[in-house]
Amino acid sequence: METHRVIVTGSSGFLGRDVVRELIRQGHEVTGFDLVKPNFEIASFKKGDFTEKNVAMDAIRGASVVCHLGGVGDVYLAESDPALAFKANAYGTKVVCDVSLESGVSKLVYASTWEVYGMPERNPVDESHPCNPESPYSISKLAGELFVRRLRASQSIDATALRLGTAYGEGMRDTAVISRFLERARKGQPLVIHGSGTQFRQFTHAQDIAGAFSTVITSTGHAPVYNIVADTSVPIVELARLISAHFEVGVEFKEARSGEPPSATITSRLARQELGWVPNVSFEAGIRELIEDRLN
């Protein structure tokens, strides 16, 4: 397998960590790039803000591949501070694209989100579905995609956006619904569902997402965008019942929160056909591992 010198922005974050580890496992020469040092061992790391062009240039220079996972990934933080989200996810992605072009990078892979589709016009949602993002987070991520698309049009860089499913796994952010449920359950508190609970998510394990990045950077002739989303749709009320049963706590309902993305059934058929990507971690296995970790 061909190996590359890879820069991973957002390398200290939840998904960045798994991407770094997977790329190292595959034999690539990996450098992390983030505002904070990682809490895991990595041979090469550069600390800095990728929205500052000179800092980004120093970090990216010499790399052949950029995996761009840096930015604001918290939907609710983006809702409360949209200026921050747009600076990181839109302007910051423009900086990374510009620097990659100037530095002679050959490939860039951008972490986008399924939420750019907004309210689905049809199901299942494939990559040809119109994008109608509704929240500051999803709008800022689509803006980043547009800069990646412009970079690809330059024909100098093979640039691809991955529209990721709702990520979960060890180290996920505290505001994620699974994290909130597990933390309350661990404390013996009832789980709180905002809304009816019928809203559903296709939870996609961080290890499977890392595998998609690894697959894209070693493939050729691929599409400009792929859905990287697990197949199983899990209603939030079912997630709550599963966790509450293990911890023997109750479930409460409160009004829906603003910024909550609509439910949509996303298909990753194109990634299966063109990349050979398949999710290997079932939701049952992934959530069981998280529950057992909290119980021990």
pLDDT along the chain (296 residues), means of 10: 92 97 97 95 96 98 98 94 98 98 97 97 97 96 98 93 97 93 95 95 98 94 93 96 94 88 95 96 94 80
Percent of the chain with pLDDT over 70: 100
Predicted structure pTM score: 0.96
Quick one: pLDDT at residue 261?
86
| Cis, bond preceding 124 (omega within 30 deg of 0) | yes
Quick one: pLDDT at residue 155?
84
Quick one: pLDDT at residue 269?
97
Residue 88 contacts residue 136 (beta carbons within 8 Å): no
The CA-atom distances, in angstroms, between 68 and each of 34, 111, 255 are: 11, 6, 35
Average pLDDT, the chain: 95
Quick one: pLDDT at residue 84?
98
Extents of the domains making up the chain: 5-166+204-229
Region class of 62: left (phi > 0), else alpha (psi between -120 and 50), else beta: left
Residue 171 contacts residue 16 (beta carbons within 8 Å): no
Class level of CATH domain 5-166+204-229:
alpha beta
pLDDT digits (tens, 9 = 90+) for 185-234: 999 999 999 999 999 999 999 999 999 999 999 988 789 999 999 999 99
